[in-house]
Amino acid sequence: MKKSQISRLAVLSFVIALAGCANYRWTSSVPEELRTVAVPVFENRTSSAELGPIVTQYVLREFQREGTFSIRRSGSSALEVQGSIVKASRDPAAFNRGYGSRASEYRYTVTAEVSLINKDTGKVLLNNRRYVAETTFLTRGDLLTTQRDAAARIAQEFARQIVDDVTAFPYEK
């Protein structure tokens, strides 16, 4: 190949690569007027204590960490995330042979339903979208304490999923 052909090929490759980046944005796709969010305490419809407030706390932290939205009270926000913890199960995953059928590890699975409401228009943007998160935990003496620690990991996973969905939602301009 001649030097001029190599130069043309390089320029053509560069132009094609640049064209692939034409729709990429360096800023959020969320319209400026919708960048405030409220997150009331998640309703807990399960028998697992404290799940609602724990998940709410982690969702708020994730919104702060992500940075697109400002957190406001319900009456002064453009969007509101409403959530319910609808199911929580703790199933044995491993057993301690020394104690017969006593579980030494559990799989903890929690299901939540989340809605996203545009407070200005009243339009429901996400309607009871179902999220599932799970983790495992060992039973080291106090089952309730280790389950509560596992609930924090579950809440982190919910927060990541929910904030990702709210941030990536195709808002109309």
- Cα-flanking dihedrals φ and ψ of residue 64, to 5°? -65, -45
Does 122 or 18 have the greater pLDDT score?
122
Helix (H, G, I), strand (E, B) or coil at 25: coil
**Residues 35-88: pLDDT tens digits?**
999 999 999 999 988 999 999 999 999 999 999 999 999 999 999 999 999 999
Residue 107 and residue 134 in contact, taking contact as beta carbons nearer than 8 Å: yes
Tokens at residue 5, please? 């052909």
The pLDDT, as a whole number, for residue 35 is: 96
The pLDDT, as a whole number, for residue 140 is: 73
Tell me which residue of 114, 135, 7 sits closest to 63, measured CA to CA.
114
How much of the chain exceeds pLDDT 70, in percent?
A: 85
The domain locations on the chain are: 29-168
CATH of domain 29-168: 3.30.160.150
